[in-house]
Amino acid sequence: MDRDTRERMARAIHSAYRSEQKGRLAPDDASMADWEHLPETLRRSNHLQADDIIKKLQMIGCEVSDATGEGTAVRDFTTAEIELMAEMEHERWNEERLADGWTLGPEKDVSKKISPYIIPWPALPDDVREWDRQTVRKIPEFLSSVGLKAIKK
């Protein structure tokens, strides 16, 4: 994925996150900032999530191609595919946070790098798992926003 495509996809991922979390997170939560005001570590997080999309799709037998290329675009995933990719996303997120110095704590605090969700997938409450499910359901939308599509191999 070239640099411009990666940037546009990261922005699309962040925009979708803000829409989904509106009303759940405080407007002054650092992760709810618009892209231009988003802390660099959180921008990087969106870039890393964009980078990992191809890996997730490969795990379910898909590849990424140009939107105008051959093959029918995958628009929806099965429940099993969503669950697998959501768990992969949570694992990726855990690794990213830990590498960035985040720690487990009772309440989220971006400035102190604390999160109550740096735990294994099975230990997550289902409503928190749904955040990862929602983001992987949007993969076709993220790809489309940058002129790409997922196709079955």
pLDDT digits (tens, 9 = 90+) for 76-119: 999 999 999 999 999 999 999 999 999 999 998 888 999 999 99
Q: How many CB atoms lie within 10 A of CB 14?
A: 23
CA distances from 136 to 18, 47, 89, 92, 100 (A): 15, 15, 8, 13, 23
Residues 123-143, mean pLDDT to the nearest whole number: 95
Per this entry, what is the length of the chain? Answer: 153
Helix, strand, or coil here: 100?
coil
Quick check: 28 pLDDT over 90? Answer: no
Predicted pLDDT at 68: 94
Percentage of residues in the chain having pLDDT higher than 70: 100
Residues of 88-127 as b/e, b for ≥16 C-beta within 10 angstroms? bbbebbbebbeeeebeeeeebebeebbbebbeebeebeee
Q: How confident is the model at residue 140 (pLDDT cuts 50, 70, 90)?
A: very high
pLDDT digits (tens, 9 = 90+) for 43-52: 999 999 999 9
Q: How confident is the model at residue 1 (pLDDT cuts 50, 70, 90)?
A: confident
CA distances from 120 to 57, 94, 130, 153 (A): 21, 8, 14, 30
Domain layout of the chain by residue ranges: 3-152
pTM of the model: 0.88
Fold of 3-152: Globin-like (1.10.490)
pLDDT: which is higher, 25 or 47: 47
